[in-house]
Amino acid sequence: MSKRKELEAKLIARLRDDVVCVEKTDPRTIFIDVKRAGIREASKIITNAGARYLCSVGYDNIERDGTLGMIHTFALDDSDQFVCCRTSAPENDAIIESITPDLPSAGWSEREVTDLLGLRFAGHPKPKKLVLADDWPDGIYPLRKDVPHNLVPKGAEDVAYELDEAPPGTKIVPVGPFHPSLHEPEHFAVYVDGETIKGCDYRGFMTHRGIEKLCTTQISYNEVPFIAERICGICGSVHATAFSQAVESAAGLVIPRRAEFIRTMMLEFERIHSNLLWLGVAGHLIGFDTVFMQAWRVREQIMWLCERLTGNRKTYGMILVGGVRRDITPEIADDIRRVMKTIEDDLAIIHRAIEKDTSIHKRTKGVGTITKQQALDWSLVGPVARARGVDIDARRDHPYAAYDEMKFEVPVLDSCDVWATLVIRVIETFEAIKIVRQCLEKMPGGEFFVEMKDSIPAQRHAITVVEAPRGESVHYVITGEDNRPERWRVRAPTFPNLQAVPLMLLDEQFGDFPIIMGSIDPCFSCTDRVAVVDLQTGQASSISKAELDALSRQQQARHASLKG
């Protein structure tokens, strides 16, 4: 009996009446609808069957049946399956049981749903505000359909976020939102006892752009990939690919094989540049700026290559629903080969230098240690998980694009520290170069784009994962009317990884804070994508450059007037 069948049988046997239905339309995904009473039990059964928790998605179904929906998603990595466990609660009794006590990494997902949709979770260990600004007024849930995307509520007054109680004998070092080791605005309250970190509270979600709301209210499927790409300045193609795949899967659209190869290449380019970028940042965070400069010098090659390829150093605009925008010509293929060679050689030099540098060992070995079990409990992903002996990689476990044809190693180390993360990311860069070469070799001819002709039926659910350089990104799409998604949920790799950072920091030295925090390669803008407000003003900001400029000008004027 396949794992899938086994799981279905188990669920029905154990939950009986609580299971409403099991939908088996998609060969890769099982959708299970359960009554809200059985949701915690269901998720327990699913995880006990060996599934790994991905994320949770909340959605507004009030217009349809007066409920708020909640989906917990899981992955069965050894059999390439996803499990989506759906439930709902009526709007007037919007509360369901929390799964966070069993799955700590569900904590943020649930808090996010509480903030954005007003669905509450009984038994949540830390039911605090997560994504909304401190002064966001109570009772307005931005992701509900009745809230317009451009709502500007009046900010609540005298509201301050209550940080967690500091452990006895400790004091708070406020890190961020403006701090040199954070490259995006987020706030960590680090509880230190002298030089030792005894805990940490996180108040983030300050990079608010309201992307999910925007894409479900304003634009159409074909435009979303360009917005998705702008979720992140590093792994844009990842989000664009993931979204496109989700839509293609929902629509049952099959894209040309050549396009899949090109997507694979773009993703690997991104991996190379992201890994080099991170390597540099990691060097910088331990005060080793030479590593920073050299890694970025090497990285520059790939940036130029992408510029020649797509016209942009970043935010390539290559990925479309239905394929890609540009082809790889033979000339550019030669160019790619040459650049790959240069990068491989240069990186080999850096790699050798780092490998033998005892002072880098001093700063990274045994730092940020958490055990494999903890990594599993917190559903860590990407190099951070692989450095803790968790052998997962979406490219291999849930192949997409052309990864099924690619041969590559998934490095897994078990020293559980920052050093292992560093080694893994360097090795993965070499592997990425290999994959790019394989793509060039094996790429079939033919079309690279197919137009989506039929409109996509509403209320279809689809989930895809894409292995970003820093771990897997999960996209969940519910199709909607008006040629746009009804709900689109993006879970960036930082979302689970960041939740485990306090654990990694525990009992480490404060001097190691930057590198431990940096070791997960946090991408706060990916993580924050959803919320709709600017911290200080409660102002909704849909994004056009002119508007943004006007906003920042306003902001400055306000500061000036405050000063005066």
Partner 1 sequence: MDTTIYPHLQTGLAILLGAGLITPLLASKRQLAGIVNLLAVVLAGLFFASSAINVLSGPGAPASFDLQLAGLTIPLLVDGFSAVFLLLIAVIASVVALYCIGYMQMAHYRHYSLRGFYFCYPVFIAGMIALVTVDDLSTGFTIAWQLMTLTSFWLIRFDHHDPVIVRSANKYLLLMQLAWAAVLTAGLLVPGCGWGTPLHYIAEQLGTLDVGLRTLLLALAFLGFGMKAGMFPLGQLWLPDAHSVAPSPISALLSGVMLKTGIYGLIRTLFWMTPESMPAHELQYWGMAVAVIGVVTLFIGTSQSLKQVDAKRLNAYSSIGQIGYIILAIGAARYYLGPNAALHALALLAILGAFLHVLNHAIFKSLLFLCVGSVQYTTGTKDLDKLGGLFALMPITAIIAGIAAIAVSGVPAFSGFTSKWAIVAATLLSGKAAGIFVIFGVIALVTSAMTLATYVKLYGMTFTSVGVEWNTDGNAKVQEVGKLMLAPKLLLTAICLLQGLCPWLFVALFGRVLATSEGVLTHTLATPALLATLSERYAGVAVSNASGTAVAFSLPLVMVALLVVAGLFARWLKHAGGAQTRQAPVWLCGYQTLNNANRYLSSHIFDAFKKFMKWTGGNVRA
Partner 2 sequence: MTTATLHPIWSYVQVLLNLLVFLALAPLFDGIVRRVTARVQSRQGPPLVQSFYDVLKLLGKENIDSTGILPFRLAPVIAFASMLCVIAILPLAGRATAFTAYADAISLVYLLTLGGVAVLLGAFASKNIYALIGASREMTTMIMVEPILFMILLLGVLKTGSLDLSAVIYGTPMAAFGLPGMVMIAVSLFGLQAFVARQPFDMAEAEQELLGGPFIEYSGPNYALFKYYMMLKQMFYAYLPIAMFVPLLGTGFYLADLALQLVLTAVVFLLIGLLSATHPRYRIDQAIRYFGVLFLIALAAIAAAVVL
Q: Which residues are near partner 1 by CB under 8 A?
A: 163, 166, 169, 171-179, 185, 187, 189, 192-196, 203
In the chain, what is the straight-line distance between the N-terminal and C-terminal CA atoms, in Å?
74
Q: Is 529 in the site for partner 2 (CB under 8 A)?
A: no
Instruction: Give me the residue label for tokens 């082809």.
Output: 327
Tell me the C-alpha distance between 101 and 373, whole Å.
16
Contact (Cβ atoms closer than 8 angstroms) between residue 51 and residue 76: yes
Minimum separation from the CB atom of position 564 to partner 1 (A): 13
Measured at the alpha carbon of residue 454, what is the angle toward residues 448 and 458, in degrees to the nearest 5?
A: 115
* Pairing mode of beta strands 120-122, 95-97: parallel
Q: Is 168 helix (H, G, I), strand (E, B) or coil?
A: coil
Which of partner 2, partner 1, none lies near 187, with the C-beta cut-off 5 to 8 A by kind? partner 1
- Comparing CA positions, the residue from 71, 26, 17 lying closest to residue 46 is 71
Q: Which stretch binds partner 2 (CB under 8 A): 73-81, 289-297, 383-391, 469-477?
A: 289-297
Which single residue is written with the structure tokens 């009473």? 37
Contact 390, 380 (CB under 8 A): yes
Select 198 or 213, whichever has its Cβ closest to partner 1. 198
| Shortest Å, Cβ 189 to partner 1 | 7
Check binding of 311 to partner 2 (CB under 8 A). no
Which partner from the list partner 1, partner 2, none does 512 bind, CB cut-off 5 to 8 Å by kind? partner 2
- Residue 523 CB, nearest approach to partner 1 (Å): 20
The secondary structure element, H or E, covering residue 544 is none
* Residue whose entry in the numeric block shows the structure tokens 């749903």: 113
By the rule CB under 8 A, 293 interacts with partner 2: yes
Pick from 24, 297, 338, 558: which binds partner 2 (CB under 8 A)? 297
CB nearer to partner 2: pick between 225 and 522: 522
Site for partner 2 in 51-110 (CB under 8 A): none
Residues 156, 136 contacting (CB under 8 angstroms): yes
- Which positions from 333 through 392 interact with partner 2, judged by CB under 8 A? 359-360, 362-363
Q: Which of 17, 289, 345, 355 binds partner 2 (CB under 8 A)?
A: 289
Alpha helices in 253-371 (DSSP H): 257-285, 289-310, 330-356, 358-364
Phi–psi pair at 486, nearest 5 degrees: -80, -40
Interacting partner of 359 out of partner 1, partner 2, none (Cβ under 5 to 8 A depending on kind): partner 2
The minimum distance between CB 362 and partner 2, in angstroms, equals 6
Residue 284 binds which of partner 2, partner 1, none (CB < 5-8 A, kind-dependent):
partner 2
Residue 14 burial (C-beta neighbours within 10 Å; 0-12, 13-18, 19+): middle
Instruction: Count residues near partner 2 (CB under 8 A).
Output: 32
Contact of residue 169 among partner 2, partner 1, none (CB under 5-8 Å per partner type): partner 1
Interacting residue ranges for partner 2, rule: CB under 8 A: 171-174, 179-181, 192, 195, 283-294, 297, 359-360, 362-363, 509-514
